[in-house]
Structure 1
């Protein structure tokens, strides 16, 4: 693995894992969807220029309370293209700022848009007095892109394909 692969998060499957078909990889990625996780994996729209998209469920009513309570300031989308000839999934991250109006999150058109590989973790902490009378730091919220990308990467690697993080184009 080269330096650029390390910087982009490219991972190769373990030796001995037989590569599956593109349709099986697509099915494995869509199987990451569960109702109890704050993200969704879906087929991409034509304007997204990808095969699949994984994104936080920030606009779904069932998840408004979760995201409003945390006052999340950015949202993440991972666009994925399956490349059967190379047996790899090329993935690029896009991050936007979120504007809060009341308790309903609205995606704002912002100058703070980033694209490439997002790995920054945001955390919120509070200090509380514990039973022992001392102050303790407690994490109340964490926004970690790995919570979205790790299951996707595991599905791809488990299917014998390479997960290739890209910076500019799929």
Structure 2
């Protein structure tokens, strides 16, 4: 295996990473197994700033695997659920968080996908639908009658 893998972001910026870091991505691991490591690996769905964050995560967890996140989350405070480093890592702008989710899914890095989704879950946990809409800038396009009908149909989940 090559000493370094070359990963190319959607903007064409090339990042060199250790094979064990790059291969934390199942997608990259499969590409390396299929095609070898001499060629630059194109990642057209990942912007440079996001790829940089993904590499930071993989480097940190290369020799320090994250603990599995228990679901459902026991607390809306993510620092009670994950390590301090992971909590700080996902303490980013909402747009960056969603791009990290998409990148983790595309690159098939399950622990990163679990972490980023847990962050979103912690942002939702214990909030009313109105608070969630405000948090994520979601427009409520239901009529009051439709909203009441949905509340009646889903009353069981609010009681739980």
TM-score of the alignment, normalized to the shorter chain, above 0.5: no
Higher strand residue share: 1
Q: Which has the higher helix share?
A: 2
Which range, TM-score by smaller chain? under 0.3
Structure with the bigger RCO (C-alpha within 8 Å, sep 6+) is 1
Q: Could you tell me the TM-score, scaled by structure 1's length?
A: 0.21
